[in-house]
Chains A and B, each alone.
Chain A
Amino acid sequence: MTFLLAQLLLHPERVLELDNAQLNVLLSQGRNSRLLGSLAFEMQRVGADTQLPQIVDRHFQSARLIYEKQKQDLSYDSEKVRLALDSVGQKLVLLKGAAYILGGLPVGRGRYITDIDIIVPKDRIDEAERTLIAFDWEAADIDPYDDHYYRTWGHEIPPLTNLKRETTLDVHHNILPPTAGPNVDASLLFEQLIEVKPGIYTLSWKDMVIHSATHLFHEGEFHHGLRDLWDLDRMLRDFSARDPRFWGGLLPRAEQLQLTGSLFHGLNYANQVFETPVPAHILEEASSWSRALRKPLMDFLFLRALRPNHPQSRLRHTDLALNLLYFRSHYLRMPLHLLLPHLAKKAWMRRIKKNGAA
Chain B
Amino acid sequence: MQLLHHLAADEFKERLSRGDIPLRIGPYVYNLQSNVPSVVTGIETLYADFQLAKPGEFIDYNVTLECSGILGRLRGEAKFIFDNNSPFDPIPKGQAYAFLEWGMNWCVSLHTNEYLKLHAGAVSRADFAVIMPGLPGAGKSTLCAALGLSGWRVLSDEHAMIPPNTTEVIPLSRPVSLKNESIDVIKSFSSAAIFGPVSKETHKGVVAHMKADLQPDSHDAKSLQARAMVFPRYSKDDPQQLTRRRRTDSFILAAYHSFNYSLLCDAGFEAMKTLIENVDCYDLVYHDLEWALMAMDQLPELQSGQ
Q: Are B84 and A310 in contact (CB under 8 A)?
A: yes
Known interface pairs A28-B83, A58-B112; A72-B59 also in contact (CB < 8 Å): no
Known A58-B114, A61-B113, A68-B265; judge A23-B83 contact (CB<8 A). Answer: no
CB-based nearest A residue for B115: A58
Contact flag A61-B114 (CB < 8 Å), given A55-B58, A66-B263:
yes
Contact of B264 among A19, A58, A59, A65 (CB under 8 A): A65
The reply to whether B262 and A69 contact each other, CB–CB distance below 8 Å, is yes
Contacts A69-B263, A309-B84, A311-B84: A59 and B111 contacting too (C-beta < 8 A)? yes
Asked if residues A28 and B263 are in contact (CB atoms below 8 Å), the reply is no
Is A192 located at the chain interface by the 8 A CB criterion? no
In the bound complex, residues from chain A placing their C-beta under 8 Å from that of B62 are: 24, 28
**1/0 per residue B105-127: CB within 8 Å of A?**
00000011110000000000000
Residues in A neighbouring B85, C-beta threshold 8 A: 32, 309
A358 to chain B, nearest CB (A): 13
Chain A residues with CB below 8 A from B57, complex form: 20
- Contact between B265 and A72, CB atoms less than 8 A apart: yes
Task: Say yes or no: A55-B113 contact (C-beta < 8 A), given A20-B57, A20-B58, A65-B263.
Answer: no
Closest Cβ of chain B to A303, distance in Å, is 19
Q: Is the CB of B84 within 8 A of A28?
A: yes
A20 in contact with B56 (CB, 8 Å): yes
Name, among A59, A68, A72, A310, the residue most crowded by chain B CB atoms within 10 Å (CB to CB): A59
Name A41-77 residues within 8 Å CB distance of B.
53, 55-56, 58-59, 61-62, 65-66, 68-69, 72
Q: How far is the CA of A311 from the CA of B85 in the complex (A)?
A: 11
Q: Which residues on the B side are within 8 Å of A19 (C-beta)?
A: 56
A24, B113: Cβ atoms closer than 8 Å: no
Query: In the assembled complex, which residues on chain A have CB atoms less than 8 Å from the CB atom of B265?
Result: 68-69, 72
**Once the chains bind, are A32 and B83 in contact (CB under 8 Å)?**
yes
With an 8 A cutoff between CB atoms, is A21 at the interface?
Answer: yes
Best-buried of B59, B264, B265 by chain A (most CB within 10 Å)? B59
Complex Cα–Cα for A32 and B86 (A): 11
- CA of A307 to CA of B27, assembled, Å: 31
**Interface residue? B60 (CB, 8 A):** yes
A278 to B166 CA separation, bound complex (whole angstroms): 51
Query: Roughly how many angstroms separate A3 CA and B145 CA in the complex, as a whole number?
Result: 46
Nearest CB in chain B to that of A314: its residue = B84
The residues in A between 22 and 36 inclusive whose CB is less than 8 angstroms from any CB of B are: 23-24, 28, 31-32
A24 touches B84 (CB 8 A): no
Q: Per DSSP, are chain A's interface residues mostly helix, strand or loop, or mixed?
A: helix
User: In the bound complex, what is the Cα–Cα distance between A19 and B57 (angstroms)?
Assistant: 9
Q: Is the CB of A53 within 8 A of B113?
A: no
Check B58–A62 contact: CB distance below 8 A: no
Q: Which of B27-75 contact A (CB under 8 A)?
A: 27, 56-60, 62
- CB of A310 within 8 A of CB of B83, answer yes
* CB neighbours of A65 from chain B (8 A): 113, 263-264
Q: Which A residues from 296 to 310 make CB contacts under 8 A with B?
A: 309-310
| CB closest residue in chain B, given A308 | B84
Chain B residues contacting A28 (CB-CB under 8 Å) are 62, 83-84
Question: In the complex, A59 Cα to B83 Cα: how many Å?
Answer: 14
Q: Which residue of B lies closest to A62 (CB)?
A: B113
Interface residues of B in 250-302 (CB under 8 A from A): 262-265
Bound-state CA distance A28–B19 (Å) is: 15
Report the Cα distance A68→B262, complex, angstroms: 11
A53 to B29, CA, bound (A): 15
Considering the complex, give the chain B residue whose CB is closest to the CB of A55: B58
Does A24 contact B59, Cβ atoms closer than 8 Å? yes
Residues in chain B near residue A309, CB distance under 8 A: 84-85
User: Bound state CA distance, A65 and B271, in angstroms?
Assistant: 15
Residues of A within 8 A of B113 (CB): 61-62, 65-66
Looking across the interface, which residue of chain B has its beta carbon closest to that of A36?
A: B111
Cα-based distance from A31 to B112 in the complex (angstroms): 13
Q: Are the C-beta atoms of B114 and A56 separated by less than 8 Å?
A: no
- Complex Cα–Cα for A224 and B42 (A): 36
For the complex, give the distance between the alpha carbons of A72 and B265 in Å: 9
User: Is A62 touching B112 in the complex (CB atoms < 8 A)?
Assistant: yes
Bound Cα distance A28, B84 (Å): 8
* Choice from A20, A32, A62 contacting B84 with Cβ under 8 Å: A32
Check B58 against A53 for contact (C-beta < 8 Å). yes
- Chain A residues with CB under 8 A of B84: 28, 32, 309-311
CA distance A69 to B259 in the complex (A): 13
B111: chain A residues at CB < 8 Å are 31, 59, 62
Contact B58–A23 (Cβ < 8 Å): yes
* B56–A55 touching, CB < 8 Å: no
Instruction: Select one of B83, B263, B264 contacting A31, CB under 8 A.
Output: B83
Q: How far is the CA of A59 from the CA of B112 in the complex (A)?
A: 7
Which of B57, B84, B85, B264 has the most C-beta atoms of chain A within 10 angstroms of its own C-beta?
B84
In the bound complex, residues from chain A placing their C-beta under 8 Å from that of B114 are 58, 61-62
B27 CB contacts on chain A under 8 angstroms: 55
Query: In the complex, what's the smallest C-beta–C-beta distance from B258 to chain A, in angstroms?
Result: 13
Bound-state Cα–Cα, A256 to B145, Å: 69
A32 contacts which chain B residues (CB < 8 A)? 83-85
A32–B112 CA distance with the chains assembled, in angstroms: 16
Shortest Cβ distance from residue A224 to the other chain B in the assembled complex, whole angstroms = 13
Closest to A57 in B: B114
* In the complex, per-residue mask of A7-27: 1 if CB is within 8 Å of any chain B CB, else 0: 000000000000111011000
Q: List 15 A-B contacts (CB under 8 A).
A: A20-B56, A20-B57, A21-B56, A24-B58, A24-B59, A28-B83, A32-B84, A53-B58, A55-B27, A59-B112, A61-B113, A62-B113, A68-B265, A309-B85, A310-B84
Binding site for A on B (CB under 8 A): 27, 56-60, 62, 83-85, 111-114, 262-265
Closest 7 CB pairs of A and B: A62-B113, A20-B58, A28-B83, A58-B114, A69-B263, A65-B113, A32-B83
Beyond contacts A32-B84, A55-B27, A310-B84: 11 other A-B pairs, Cβ-Cβ < 8 A, are: A20-B59, A21-B59, A23-B58, A28-B84, A62-B111, A62-B112, A65-B263, A66-B113, A69-B264, A72-B265, A309-B85
